[in-house]
Structures are given as structure tokens and as C-alpha cells.
Amino acid sequence: MEDRDLMENELLVIKGVCDLYLHGTIESTTAEVHEAFKCALNETLDIQNKIYNLMKDKGWYNTEDAEQQKIDQTKQKFMTNN
């Protein structure tokens, strides 16, 4: 398995863990449990960010910049819905 494939798999797993910790935080019934999930979520988000940045630096995670016109249209759409 190539390094890129390993990093992609790790990123997917970390994103799934973030989702679980987020829901654990939201659904917590005590302050202690809430804080434990929140700390775990923040640590996992830091790991996710490091993986993303490594992949981006290697050219393995490409993103496209949104066109300013589309950004403006989206802003307008949500501003008129208020």
C-alpha cells in the first residue's frame, strides 16, 4: 500500500472518530462526560488538521478555490432567507 493510500485511510478514520466524539459531546448527560468528549474531540481535530496539512503539502489533497461570484450568490441567498 502506498503512503498516500495510508494517509487517505487514516484521514477517513480520524474524520469518523471526530464525528463520534462530536455526537458524544452533544449527547452527554453530565458536565464531566461532556468535557471528556470535548477534549477528545479537540485532540482528534488537531490530528485531523496535521494529517490534512501533510497531505496538502505533498500534493495529495487538492482543493479548488470557490469562484467569488458563487460565494457572493450563496451569501445573498442566505441573507434573503432571514
Interval 64-73: pLDDT, tens = 888 999 999 9
Nearest-Å Rg of the Cα atoms of the chain is 18
Ordered per-residue pLDDT tens for the chain, 82 residues: 799 999 999 999 999 999 999 999 999 999 999 999 999 999 999 999 999 999 999 999 888 888 999 999 999 989 886 6
Give the chain's length. Answer: 82
Question: 17 Cβ partners below 8 Å, 6+ apart?
Answer: 44
CA gap 40, 80 in Å, rounded: 38
What pLDDT score was predicted for residue 1? 79
What pLDDT score was predicted for residue 43? 98
**Annotated domain spans of the chain:** 3-80
